[in-house]
Amino acid sequence: MVRIKAYISRKIASEAAELLAWLADNGRTVTFAESCTGGMLAAAFTANDGASAALRQAYVTYCDDAKALLLGVSTQTLAACTAVSAQTAAEMARGAAEKAKADVAISVTGLAGPGGGTAEQPVGLVFIGVAVGGSVKAYRCQFAGGRDMVRLQAALTAYRLANEAVKNYSEV
């Protein structure tokens, strides 16, 4: 298990460096809005030299009140859809981009476990939001493993989705 975690951590670092390179090459900025990953995206990004030129802000909004207050997630969305939903992930990404005045925003919200899951929202359910140039997409993911594995897989997937989104963004 330790080898798998180390492998995923190296992949996260590689994906973070790739995103930074794209941002630097295109004069763009990024922000992160994290819940279950608790700052993993920002930590991986800032491990790279030159991150300060591209990172606007990073938010760790672990509770619903923080999502509403800091990112502008609608309390109606949180009540109707819960924090673990595509709607919340999209609003987190949109709100982070607007508040930080960033070109790219990545959000992550989900259930890392080991407790807290239900039949409708099992442990390992994660939603990732990616905002690029005003367009926002949310992705539903289901990860296996314990808390650390869920968080690592969520961070890796978030970076991969963001890198795909920025490469496909044509109005740079």
DSSP string computed for the chain: -HHHHHHHHHHHHHHHHHHHHHHHHHT--EEEEESTTTTHHHHHHHTSTTGGGTEEEEEE--SHHHHHHHH---HHHHHHH-SSSHHHHHHHHHHHHHHHT-SEEEEEEE--SSS---SSS-TTEEEEEEEETTEEEEEEEE--SSHHHHHHHHHHHHHHHHHHHHHH----
* pLDDT one digit per residue (tens) for the chain, 172 residues: 899 999 999 999 999 999 999 999 999 999 999 999 999 999 999 999 999 999 999 999 999 999 999 999 999 999 999 999 999 999 999 999 999 999 999 999 999 999 999 999 999 999 999 999 989 999 999 999 999 999 999 999 999 999 999 999 865 4
pTM: 0.97
Give the CATH fold of the 2-168 domain.
Maf protein (3.90.950)
